[in-house]
Each structure stands twice: as C-alpha cells, then as structure tokens.
Amino acid sequence: MNDRFTFIDVPGSRLQQKLCAVTEEGLSKPHKELPSRFFYDAAGSVLFEQICALPEYYPTRTEHAILARSAREMIDSAGKDLTLVEFGSGSSSKTRLLIETLLERQPALHYLPIDISADFMRQSCYTLLDDYERLAVTGIAAEYSDGIHALPAPDSPRLFLFLGSNIGNFDRDEAEAFLRRIRQQMQPEDRVLIGIDLIKERSILTAAYNDHAGVTAAFNKNLLVRINNELGGKFDLDAFVHEAPYIEAESRIEMHLVSHHKQSIPIAYLEQSFAFTAGERIHTENSHKYTLGSFGELCAPACLKTEAYWTDERNWFAVLLLKPIEMSRNSSTTKNPAAILTAVIPTAVSSDLAQPGE
Ligand code: AVI
C-alpha cells in the first residue's frame, strides 16, 4: 500500500504554538473569541462526525443526497482524467461517491486531501487505499492556506473539492481571500466543486446547531478541553453554556460559550489568568448561510463563475461547480455589483441541473 501513499506534513502548520498564540490573543480581546479551526483535533473530529449523523443536522445528509444523485453529472461537467484535491476532507465519506464515479471513468485516480487533523486524515487515507486499488493518495496535513502551497505541480486537470459548507465558517473577507488563493492555483481546465448551506427557516437552522443529544455543545466545549489538555488551562466545562443563535442580519449561525458566573481561569502555559463576568461569552464559530446570489457575489472578485449547480428538492443545500474566469474581467465586475450577479449566476443553468433527479 505504501507506494500509493504519500504524506506531507507542512512544517509549522499545526504547531501547538498556534493554539497558544490564538488563545492568548482571543481571550485578551474585549469580546473574547477563539477560532473554530481549533475544534478539529482527534476528539473534535470524532465529535464532528457524530454531529453529521444527528437527526437535526441536515447539511451532511442533504449534500450527500445531492452528490449521490448527481455525482456522474458533476464529474462529466468537471472534465476528463481528473486529479481530486479536497480541502477539509474529514472522513472523506462524501468524497467516496466522487472517487467511485471517477474510477468508473478513468483507469486511476490521484486524490490529495488537505486537513488540519493529521491523525484522523491519515486513518481515512488508509481506509480509502484499502478500498480502492486504483487510487493513489497524497495526504497533506496543514491548514487550508498552507496546504494550497504544498500541492505538487499538476499533471492533469484538477477538481478542487470544498464540501460540507466549510466555506461558511470563514468570514466574508476570509472566504473571498480563500477562493482567490484557489483561483490563483487554477489552470483554465481546473474546476472547484463547492457545497454551500442555503438560507432557510430559522427553526431548522437553530435546531441543527442546538441538538437534543448535546453533541454540538460538546464539540464547542472541545476548545476548552484542548486548552486544558495542551496549555494547562483550568476551565470547568460545566461553568460554560453552549449557545448557537441564528443572526439574520449576518445570515449566520454564531456559536458561543457563555460563562455561567463570574470566574477567573488560569492557563499555566500562558502564565496568566483570564477573567470572565457572569454571562460573558467566547465567540467560537460563524456558520454562514447563503443564497445562490449572495454566494455568487463572493465568487466574482475571486474570478470564479458558477458553471452549474445542483440542489435538493427543498432548496436547503447547493453544490456548485465553479470555473475560473480571466483575471482581467475582475476589475470590471468588482466595480459593478450588477455585473457581478450576471457574471456568476449562470443564466443558462438548465433546469435538469437545478433539479437533480429529474
Ligand atoms: C464544518 N462546518 C461546516 C460545520 C458547520 O455547520 O458550520 C461545523 C459545525 N459547527 C457546529 N456544527 C457543525
């Protein structure tokens, strides 16, 4: 199996130092915050897998159904003899649908997952290699932005996958910058397949992030567990409450950890304590929801255009195929918002693409 597996650990991308620095910075702010990318150590990745299986958490199931129904159409639209690059691969379960479709069409496939959770990704890679003989895997253990630069030079057209509405966890500027970074790496024949969570009724959104079993709360508190384990923190998990409201003005779910009472938390590694008033919150995650139009506005400055998209029958989730447009068109679209919309929402998306399964 080894000759089919390469592992690239990007130096500095996953250092404990980073958790140390972001904790000190984030807990020193007037509005305390911790970045959501630190949810995903081995325990956090397992919790996230559990979230994906929750009855309330519709995104994974819905996206999976869209992929199951339309994988062939997606791959046919994306090009020939493709290499698959995936950001935030997790357990790669949805990717299997695409891998299988690709292996039906081409003799071999090179798959390059990029994930911050090194051990979890390595394990997923081994399982994939066991299951698919004609697959070669290059696992890249890194944050997305570091991972992009660690990619080997392409020898065939690439399909970049960014599934699960992972992009929704970026703020607008970060999302735009990330799309721009991918675009800068793209050849004209490369494509991006991206999953986005669509705006819908508030009660459905909030239920997905406030599950009855408390798995999302445990996932949120995993940040405190990590600070306790890795930085010698003394967070009492029962003294913080998970909250996840939908903020309509921002079209996003926000996750917070709210201090139950006034308390001071020492963190040995930082040689300092952090004071919390009763009700004071740590903002831990944003999960943005989009319309096809608002997402198009995000893509246009990065010179990416929607070539096709697929949704479910309730329009809860969408998978979009993005193609690069010439950089020179950027200046005209960014100056003219109306041009952005016409540039990125395909006026000619056929209804059979928009309504998978017909
Ligand atoms: C990974 N990401 C797209 C998830 C989301 O829905 O924003 C993370 C998550 N947070 C709470 N539940 C799931």
Residue owning the nearest CA to atom 3 of ligand 1 = 166
Predicted TM-score (pTM) of this structure: 0.90
Q: Which two tokens mark 261?
A: 């009472």
Give just the sign of the alpha carbon dihedral 216, 160, 10, 4: positive
Cβ contact 243:249 at 8 Å: no
Write out 226-264 in H/E/C secondary structure: HHHHHHCECCCHHHEEEECCEEHHHCEEEEEEEECCCEE
Q: How much is the pLDDT for 176?
A: 97
- In this structure, the number of other CB atoms found within 10 A of the CB of residue 40 comes to 22
Query: Which residues, in sequence order, are bridge partners of residue 241?
Result: 258
Q: Is the CB of 295 under 6 A from ligand 1?
A: no
Q: In sequence order, which residues have a C-beta less than 8 Å from that of residue 271 and are 6 or more positions away?
A: none
Among the listed residues 211, 161, 166, 168, the one whose alpha carbon sits nearest the alpha carbon of residue 51: 211
Among the listed residues 229, 276, 232, the one whose alpha carbon sits nearest the alpha carbon of residue 257: 276
Q: Is the CB of 89 under 6 A from ligand 1?
A: no
Cα 324 to averaged position of ligand 1 atoms, centre (Å): 27
Cβ contact 195:165 at 8 Å: yes
Whole-number Å distance between alpha carbons of 289 and 150: 30
Q: How much is the pLDDT for 355?
A: 32
Q: In sequence order, which residues have a C-beta less than 8 Å from that of residue 332 and are 6 or more positions away?
A: 339
Q: Is the CB of 217 under 6 A from ligand 1?
A: no
- Specify the ligand 1 atom closest to the Cα of 165: 3
Among the listed residues 91, 98, 105, 89, the one whose alpha carbon sits nearest the alpha carbon of residue 67: 98
Cα 287 to averaged position of ligand 1 atoms, centre (Å): 6
Q: Is the CB of 169 under 6 A from ligand 1?
A: yes
Q: How much is the pLDDT for 90?
A: 66
Among the listed residues 232, 206, 210, 229, the one whose alpha carbon sits nearest the alpha carbon of residue 220: 210
**Both ends of the chain: CA-CA distance in Å?**
40
From first to last of its 358 residues, what are the pLDDT tens digits of the chain?
Answer: 579 999 999 876 655 558 999 999 999 999 999 999 899 888 998 999 999 999 999 999 999 999 999 999 999 999 999 999 999 876 677 899 999 999 999 999 999 999 888 888 899 899 999 999 999 999 999 988 889 999 999 999 999 999 999 999 999 999 999 999 999 999 999 999 999 999 999 999 999 999 999 999 999 999 999 999 999 999 999 999 999 999 999 999 999 999 999 999 999 999 999 999 999 999 999 999 999 999 999 999 999 999 999 999 999 999 999 999 997 644 444 444 444 443 444 433 333 333 322 2
The pick from 87, 169, 197, 251 for probing ligand 1's pocket by mutation, whose C-beta has the most ligand atoms within 8 angstroms, reads 169
Cα 45 to averaged position of ligand 1 atoms, centre (Å): 11
Q: Is the CB of 117 under 6 A from ligand 1?
A: no
DSSP per residue, 282-324: EEEEEEE-B-HHHHHHHHGGGTEEEEEEEE-TT--EEEEEEEE
- Specify the ligand 1 atom closest to the Cα of 219: 11
Q: Which two tokens mark 294?
A: 């608002």
Q: Which two tokens mark 259?
A: 């201090």
